[in-house]
Structure 1
């Protein structure tokens, strides 16, 4: 193990071990990946409120009016979560919320599939009814599971490179 001198402490402190540095890099990649996905998902929906409302309503989980409000709010929530992840600010709580959101999406898609609904998930715009052969439930679930794994990594280990958390909260 090598050592470095921390100028603020005037003491010798151990340099980060290779494994810790790798975990920091994996965290950075997970943070930027999930953050970019959330920003994109929100951005493509934010200017299409009726489409967003219909996408949530198509799942037939919530009462129509509540589903409409969820559809209106969801793009802004996604953009906010994504921006916080990109900045690396409040990484653990944002990762927890993002992971739970992805799990909710997986459950929503799985229940639509199990009930025989023929809808597009609306995850990246669009949404609503589609022809029976046009559903992509398995792919959608696998994709969202990948996003949930990125969030779970950050939930477990929120310390990453180039984050505001490191700068502000050490």
Structure 2
């Protein structure tokens, strides 16, 4: 965290970094905030109820950003208001709600070099999948859609993201 903060010192833009919210325990989350993180992100692949409770408590008491990554399978954003438990909501719909900023990952920045070519490997690693398991490979390939990557270009231009 210190190195990331130091790396931006000479840039005339305000930067806020979020820390990994799926650490081994609640104490580690507090260490990340003390080190300078402005918030915590909990990815759906690593969500643990005890950590979610701790992160929400820190959000309420310490005024930090809370980033809960939506489920890649059902496209559900945990911070979406007025959505009954178990219902799904298309991520594009989530953009209309206040204080919900759907995430956009660096590998899907629109029209960058090798975005689609490298996306399968990135997705396999990030979601702990195995290329030798046909179901894992099929799942990963089904998630990579050039149309979605292209749509991010328009959404970023209008200050929205997927």
Shorter-chain TM range is under 0.3
TM-score, normalised with respect to structure 2: 0.24
TM-score, normalised with respect to structure 1: 0.23
Over alpha carbons, which structure has the higher Rg? 1
Which structure has more relative contact order (CA 8 Å, sep 6+)? It is: 1
